[in-house]
């Protein structure tokens, strides 16, 4: 069974979830049944974490299995879901499952984790681990200049000479609602909104709203991974009505936890972020091509391509 891993060298976010979403969408466009396997970091017992909820909203036809035992999840994906391709989210340090392709993301703002493993630096493993990668992706590449990007590329490819190189950015793409519907970003321009979020970098999200031309008449920040209570919802509703907001706007990470189209009759929307390649998109597709070909060759006895496994 073909396996693709998306991971990184350092702790913290490097933009893996948008990369996983891009690969899963690419596989579905090639008629491959893909399943995402993740550990389920910070998921409550019996539930799923924020990233899984985001991916469920973005990719309703792609199952996401969360379990620290990813070999067990792989068996479920194959035996019960007839998946043709397994996509490991945050899988670079996971060694239990063999894989055809290791994709490693480096954050442009600190790609090599201060050159030390935890706790002195932020590396999960020594930088030389990059030699296992077949594709290296520089994320948030627009946050540094061309000369800095070239220096990172030179060092990374000296460690993994066979790797393809890509540079990506994360950009606002659309406004989305809890049902997966979307509308143009232009619809927020000039609008008086109530903005809020529960993420690690709230200032960054506020800046995004400002660049989109929204008038932020009210603003609330919650802790990262915040679980919204009834009192929170009532407070946000009251706030939006007090300022006469035409819309409440949050991140997709917040929206998937609220799961309502409106608060107090005022539309609730999230800014959908998508991955965009500055360079290397064709190299990424070329690296995925043999994996996609192998996945398309996987057939399951008794499986109806239109209706799913026979008898289901």
* CB-neighbour burial class of residue 7 (10 A; exposed 0-12, middle 13-18, buried 19+): buried
Cα radius of gyration rounded to whole Å, the chain: 20
Total tally of structural domains belonging to the chain? 2
Distance of CA 213 to the CA centre of its chain: 25
Q: What is the pTM of this model?
A: 0.86
Tell me what pLDDT residue 183 has: 95
Are both 179 and 33 inside the same structural domain? no
Do 242 and 232 contact (CB within 8 A), yes or no?
no
Are both 33 and 107 inside the same structural domain? yes
The H or E element containing residue 55 is: helix 50-58
Phi-psi label, residue 225: left if phi above 0, alpha if psi -120 to 50, beta otherwise: left
CATH of the domain at 303: 3.40.50.300
Q: pLDDT confidence of 50, banded at 50, 70, 90?
A: confident
Are both 137 and 18 inside the same structural domain? yes
Do 81 and 37 contact (CB within 8 A), yes or no?
no
Q: pLDDT confidence of 111, banded at 50, 70, 90?
A: very high
Q: What residues contact 242, with CB distance under 8 A and at least 6 apart?
A: 218
| DSSP 8-state symbol, 8 | E
Are both 59 and 134 inside the same structural domain? yes
Are both 50 and 144 inside the same structural domain? yes
Tell me what pLDDT residue 311 has: 40
Q: pLDDT confidence of 85, banded at 50, 70, 90?
A: very high
Q: Above 80 in pLDDT, residue 162? A: yes
Are both 148 and 296 inside the same structural domain? yes
Are both 143 and 185 inside the same structural domain? no
Are both 247 and 110 inside the same structural domain? no
Q: Where are the beta strands (DSSP E) in the chain?
A: 3-8, 34-38, 64-66, 85-89, 101-107, 135-139, 164-176, 182-183, 192-197, 215-221, 247-251, 262-263, 266-279, 303-304, 308-309
Do 166 and 153 contact (CB within 8 A), yes or no?
no
Which residue segment(s) compose the domain that 218 sits in? 171-273
Comparing CA positions, the residue from 80, 63, 76 lying closest to residue 28 is: 63
Q: pLDDT confidence of 307, banded at 50, 70, 90?
A: low
Are both 135 and 175 inside the same structural domain? no
Condensed to tens digits (0 to 9), the pLDDT of residues 176-204 reads 999 989 999 999 999 999 999 998 779 88
CATH of the domain at 240: 3.40.50
Are both 87 and 210 inside the same structural domain? no
Condensed to tens digits (0 to 9), the pLDDT of residues 217-267 reads 999 999 988 999 999 999 999 999 999 999 999 999 999 999 999 999 999
Are both 157 and 176 inside the same structural domain? no
Are both 36 and 146 inside the same structural domain? yes
């Amino acid at each position: 069974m073909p396996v693709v891993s998306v991971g990184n060298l350092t702790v913290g976010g490097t933009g893996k979830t948008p990369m996983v979403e891009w690969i899963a969408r690419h596989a579905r466009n090639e008629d491959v049944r893909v399943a995402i396997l993740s550990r389920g970091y910070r998921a409550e017992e019996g539930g799923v974490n924020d990233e899984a909820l985001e991916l469920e909203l973005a990719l309703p036809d792609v199952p996401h299995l969360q379990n620290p035992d990813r070999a067990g999840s792989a068996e479920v994906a194959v035996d019960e879901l007839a998946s043709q391709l397994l996509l490991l989210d945050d899988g670079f340090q996971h060694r239990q499952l063999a894989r055809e392709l290791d994709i490693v993301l480096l954050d442009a703002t600190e790609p090599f984790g201060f050159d030390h493993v935890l706790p002195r630096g932020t590396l999960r493993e020594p930088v030389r681990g990059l030699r296992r990668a077949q594709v290296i992706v520089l994320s948030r590449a627009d946050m540094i200049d061309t000369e800095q990007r070239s220096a990172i590329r030179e060092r990374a490819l000296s460690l993994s000479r066979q790797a393809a190189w890509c540079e990506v950015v994360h950009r606002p793409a659309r406004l989305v609602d809890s049902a997966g519907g979307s509308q143009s970003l232009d619809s927020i321009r000039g609008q008086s909104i109530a903005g809020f979020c529960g993420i690690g970098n709230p200032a960054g999200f506020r800046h995004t709203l400002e660049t989109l031309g929204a008038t932020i008449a009210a603003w609330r920040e919650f802790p990262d991974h915040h679980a919204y209570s009834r009192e929170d919802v009532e407070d946000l509703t009251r706030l939006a009505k007090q300022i006469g907001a035409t819309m409440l706007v949050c991140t997709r990470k917040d929206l998937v936890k609220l799961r309502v189209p409106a608060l107090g009759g005022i539309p609730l929307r999230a800014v959908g972020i998508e991955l965009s390649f500055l360079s290397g998109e064709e190299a990424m597709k070329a690296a995925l091509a043999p994996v996609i070909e192998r996945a398309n060759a996987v057939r399951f006895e008794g499986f109806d391509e239109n209706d799913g496994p026979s008898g289901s």
